[in-house]
Amino acid sequence: MTAKKKSGGSSANRPIGIFDSGIGGLTVANAIQKVLPNESLVYFGDTAHLPYGDKSPDSIKYYAIRISQFLLKENCKMIVIACNTASSVAYETVKDFVGGAVPVVNVIDPVVDYVTSNKNHHKIGVIGTKGTIKSDIYAKKIHLKDKKIEVASLATPLLAPMIEEGFFDNKISRTVIASYLDSRKLAKIDSLILACTHYPLIKKEVEEYYKKEIDIVDSAGVVADSVKEVLKKEKLLAPKNKPTHHFYVSDFTKSFEESTKFFFKNKISLEKKEIWL
Ligand code: DGL
């Protein structure tokens, strides 16, 4: 299955399509909105299938194609896979499906470029969902750039559902985070990649755990900069205008609604969308 190229769709006024399993991608959407305030966004949170972290690659590929198809129907000029798990296992599939109709950005390549450009990194820790860690995508991509960097990866499957439930910056989240970060695997790391788009919401707690002694890297800001670069290169940057944002979910959840308001104030219209038929 391949998407048809849109005719007459060169207008830079079209929205950017962004998706994740839930609220995690909102951290990326929020960063994009800050870096590119003229851009309209269409966000899809696949809350019916959350968490993606323990789903099979085949299921995630299927969800990612269906969502991309929806975003193209919404006339999006770009697709941002704002999820590490989907970026790990479904990026090539989405790119094949889209077939060059619009640019596709994942959340892994910009982070890998960023961490490998810092020559002081010798042992990089990576925490993420089971799916992301099992794919070993960070080690593979980092080693393509620099074979000497040691990469220590640890699956932290409780974190995304915990954050999705609104558990961050409290006693429970601090205990769960510390019990993962205490792992011997992560000993002596000089930087830590938060390889899940939910994790910027616990970045402060992770920084506190490490007493700000190591570099904690999340994807939000780095990916937003990369989105800007791609749009510029493709001459797709929106002109100065009043952007409109649309948020869709595959299932209504209170936490999603609250998080959307948290990031985008009250200017949101949240709609449940059935896209699987
Ligand atoms: N936010 C996602 C990620 O970056 C997915 C978390 C999940 O649904 O398990 O991996």
CB 216 within 8 A of CB 203: yes
Across the chain, what does the average pLDDT equal?
A: 93
Q: DSSP per residue over 162-201, as a string?
A: HHHTT--SSHHHHHHHHHHHT-GGGTT-SEEEEESTTGGG
pLDDT for res 93:
98
Structure tokens at 261: 């308001």
Domains of the chain, earliest start first: 11-106+221-272 (3.40.50.1860), 109-220 (3.40.50.1860)
Q: DSSP per residue over 198-236, as a string?
A: TGGGGHHHHHHHTTT-SEEEEHHHHHHHHHHHHHHHTT-
- The catalytically annotated residue of 16, 196, 216, 222 is 196
pLDDT for res 15:
97
Residue with token string 């309209």: 40
Of the pLDDT bands very low, low, confident and very high (cuts 50, 70, 90), residue 267 is low
59: left (phi over 0), alpha (psi -120 to 50) or beta: alpha
Q: Which atom of ligand 1 sits closest to the CA of residue 88?
A: 10
Q: pLDDT tens digit string along 134-148?
A: 999 999 999 999 999
| Ligand 1 pocket: which of 44, 129, 165, 259 to mutate (most atoms within 8 A of CB) | 129
Q: Which amino acid is at 259?
A: S
pLDDT for res 9:
44
Q: Which of 71-80, 198-207, 267-276 has the lowest mean pLDDT?
A: 267-276
More confident of the two residues 3 and 124: 124
Q: pLDDT tens digit string along 33-91?
A: 999 999 999 999 999 999 999 999 999 999 999 999 999 999 999 999 999 999 999 99
196 is catalytic: yes
- 30, containing H or E segment: helix 24-35
Model pTM score:
0.94
Average pLDDT over residues 248-256: 88
pLDDT for res 149:
97
83 is catalytic: yes
CB 12 within 8 A of CB 237: yes
Distance 104 CA to ligand 1 centre (A): 18
According to DSSP, residue 5 is labeled P
